[in-house]
Amino acid sequence: MKRSPRRWTGCRECAPAQQHFDRHRRRVTRITESGKDIRGEAKDALSHYSEIVAGRQAQVISALTIVATVFLPLSFLTGYFGMNFRILTADVQTTLWQFILLGLLLPIASAGLSLLLIHRLERRFGIRRMGQRPS
């Protein structure tokens, strides 16, 4: 419930003071309303920023899921075959072409295949690149 300002009409000497206080009351009321408007705008801006951050976070989580999907089986295979079993390494005699094939071409091919898989998954699920801004 809003109260109307109390006015003294009986005192002639009080009229200039009354006008002065009325001017200040109107100014304080205007500043209060302006503060409420600014608070509402700040609340809307914070809400918008939170939406942008949540969208970016979802995008990063999707990209990390794809990377984990690709590299988790690869790390398992690397760990398994890196255990130096005698049965796997007892009869192996490596030549230069075997080293080139297994040591260089196979890792390059697996990295290329992984990048191709990541690119296809990005296109399929509509995931934007990490550096792109949402449009």
pLDDT tens track, the chain, 135 positions:
556 555 555 577 788 888 889 999 999 999 999 999 999 999 999 999 999 999 989 888 888 888 887 788 778 877 777 776 666 556 666 677 777 777 778 878 888 888 888 788 778 877 666 556 655
Q: Give the single-character DSSP code of 130.
A: T
What the block records as the tokens of 109 is 């091919």
Give Cα separations from 23 to 27, 28, 29 (angstroms). Answer: 6, 9, 10
Sign of CA dihedral 100, 102, 103, 108: positive
What the block records as the tokens of 108 is 């390059």
